[in-house]
């Protein structure tokens, strides 16, 4: 099967615009949670798109377009003809899609009747809008679709792109996730499930953790066959070495407490990469700060990595930017690629009182360099799990 490399990354997150902003600020220990949420407060859609494009896009699509712009520019793919457009695709995950559009049109429907519902309601709220908008902007004619698997969607989109390139269906795919669900309905719904933090604090693996903090944003990777990147002289930032995805089939929202599905996904990703637990140097955890996830994920890591689990750093980006739902896996993949480049495990912030039952090395408070054995590149797994029992794990490798 063909090797797949990462030739561009992009992100818009609560830490600011840009993948490097994300990496540097997380590594520096900056927490973007404000008032129990993590919005992309400074995001200006018009900095990367026309007024027309912006009004044709729900906020989740605007975030996707802005992250895609950074990734495509970084990959040198904004020039027409660098790669034939028939060979480039776009796959974007989202947990919910254009929720704000849905809510505002529902309000119009109730207040002013059916004739007040916008003709743009459906094209803005549909979950595939992010993938379609990116294809439209760059004229991409290859595979294009959305991926829906709740908080695993970003990682599943990246995994689907890996398979499409390996199989020869495309040479390049811009893949990632986007979410903008800081809306009244979404807040109320997650609160009704008791999923969000009452304290408004994201502190994964801490004994006081009481739920996730919702954030918004987008992360995008340009994935490319190694041959294509080499032929056009693009310098890889890293390699997507493996992918594993499974389902718990245990409960609609709760993870399997034994972490069996997550462990199978980790093991499948390692097998796909052709490596064992010793080939991993860092774990970018799903680490939501919910009581159930952090416990089940710890069990899953021990089951799948054995003794190696206790020897490597495990940290959660959600401690810095909250939970970006369907964008989380993609933003975390971007952060992991840059962490591998610098061989630094960024910190799990807010972890001050360890849970006595959770005994891995969660890199509390401060970033730390990690060792990589001589003769091989640095590697990490990035875990994503979602309501519905979805598990998606990526194996990423430094260039």
Partner 1 sequence: MSTSDTITTEHVQKVVYDALESFGAEPSQFAPGTTFESLDIDSLDLAELSQVVADEFGVVLKGEDMKRIKTIGDAVSTIMDRA
Separation between Cα atoms, residue 106 and residue 70, nearest integer Å: 34
Question: Which is closer to partner 1, CB of 50 or CB of 106?
Answer: 50
Q: For the CB of residue 132, give the shortest distance to partner 1 in the complex, in Å.
A: 13
Give the closest residue to 218 by CA, choosing from 24, 63, 349.
Answer: 63
Q: Tell whether residue 56 is a contact of partner 1 (CB under 8 A).
A: yes
Q: Which residue number, 74 or 123, has a Cβ lying nearer to partner 1?
A: 123
Alpha-carbon gap, residue 288 to 373, rounded angstroms? 30
Given the complex with partner 1, which of 14 and 123 has the nearer CB atom? Answer: 123
Q: For residue 42, what are the CA distances in angstroms to 81, 217, 320?
A: 33, 11, 16
| 52 versus 373: smaller Cβ distance to partner 1 | 52
Binding marks (x or -) toward partner 1, 95..134, rule CB under 8 A?
Answer: --------------------xx-xxx--x-----------
Q: Is the CB of residue 272 less than 8 Å from the CB of residue 396?
A: no
47 interacts with partner 1 by CB under 8 A: no
| Enclosing H/E stretch for 170 | none
Interface residue with partner 1, options 55, 235, 251, 271 (CB under 8 A): 55
Residue with tokens 């377009």: 65
- The active-site residue out of 31, 144, 323, 390 is 323
* By CB under 8 A, residue 208 contacts partner 1: no
Binding track, positions 356-395, relative to partner 1; x by CB under 8 A: ----------------------------------------
- Catalytic residue of the set 23, 40, 151, 390: 151
Closest CA to 173 of 267, 260, 253, 87: 87
Per the annotation, the verdict on 323 as an active-site residue is: yes
Sequence-separated (6 or more) residues with CB below 8 Å from residue 106: none
Please list every residue from 7 through 46 that binds partner 1, using CB under 8 A. none
Closer of 41 and 116 to partner 1 (Cβ): 116
* Using rule CB under 8 A, residue 52 touches partner 1: yes
Smallest gap from Cβ 138 to partner 1, in A, equals 17
Q: Please confirm, yes or no, whether 286 is among the known catalytic residues.
A: yes
Residue 93 in contact with partner 1, rule: CB under 8 A? no
CB of 113 vs partner 1, minimal distance in Å: 11
**Per-position b or e across 233-242, b if 16+ CB within 10 A of its CB:** ebebbbbbbb
Report residue 152 CA to chain centroid gap.
Answer: 8
Smallest separation (angstroms) from partner 1 to the CB of 49: 10
CB atoms within 10 A of CB 192: 9
- CB–CB of 14/38 below 8 Å? yes
What is the distance between the alpha carbons of residues 327 and 12, in angstroms, rounded to a whole number? Answer: 10
Considering Cα of 123, then 125, then 126, then 129, what sign does the dihedral take?
Answer: positive
Which positions are catalytic? 151, 286, 323
Interface contacts to partner 1, rule CB under 8 A: 50-53, 55-56, 115-116, 118-120, 123
């Amino acid at each position: 099967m063909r090797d797949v490399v990462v030739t561009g990354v992009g992100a818009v997150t609560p830490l600011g615009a840009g993948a490097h902003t994300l990496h540097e600020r997380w590594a520096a220990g900056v927490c973007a949670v404000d008032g129990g949420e993590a919005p992309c407060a400074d995001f200006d859609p018009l900095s990367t798109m026309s007024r027309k494009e912006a009004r044709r896009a729900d906020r989740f699509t605007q975030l996707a377009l802005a992250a895609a712009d950074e990734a495509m520019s970084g990959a040198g793919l904004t020039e027409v003809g660098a790669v034939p457009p028939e060979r480039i695709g776009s796959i974007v995950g989202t947990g919910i899609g254009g929720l704000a559009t849905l809510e505002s049109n529902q309000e119009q429907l109730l207040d002013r009747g059916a004739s007040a519902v916008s003709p743009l309601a459906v094209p803005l709220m549909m979950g595939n809008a992010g993938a379609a908008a990116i294809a439209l902007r760059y004229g991409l004619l290859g595979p294009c679709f959305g991926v829906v698997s709740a908080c695993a969607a970003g990682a599943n989109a990246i995994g689907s792109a890996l398979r499409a390139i390996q199989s020869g269906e495309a040479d390049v795919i811009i893949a990632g996730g986007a979410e903008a669900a800081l809306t009244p309905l979404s807040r109320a719904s997650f609160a009704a499930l008791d999923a969000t933090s009452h304290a408004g604090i994201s502190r994964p693996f801490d004994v006081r953790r009481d739920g996730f903090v919702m954030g918004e944003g987008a992360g995008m990777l340009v994935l490319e066959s190694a041959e294509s990147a080499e032929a056009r002289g693009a310098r890889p930032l890293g390699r997507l070495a493996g992918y594993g995805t499974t389902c718990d089939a245990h409960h609609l929202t709760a993870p399997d407490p034994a972490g069996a599905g997550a462990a199978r996904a980790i093991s499948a990703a390692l097998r796909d990469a052709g490596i064992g637990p010793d080939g991993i140097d860092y774990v970018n955890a799903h680490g939501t700060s919910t009581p159930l996830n952090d416990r089940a994920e710890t069990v899953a890591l021990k089951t799948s990595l054995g003794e190696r689990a206790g020897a490597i750093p495990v940290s959660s980006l959600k401690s810095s930017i909250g939970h970006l739902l369907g964008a989380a896996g993609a933003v975390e993949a971007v952060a992991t690629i840059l962490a591998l480049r610098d061989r630094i495990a960024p910190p799990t912030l807010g972890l001050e009182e360890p849970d006595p039952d959770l005994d891995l090395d969660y890199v509390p408070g401060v970033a730390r360099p990690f060792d990589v054995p001589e003769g091989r590149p640095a590697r990490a797994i990035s875990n994503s799990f979602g309501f519905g029992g979805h598990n998606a794990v990526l194996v990423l490798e430094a260039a």
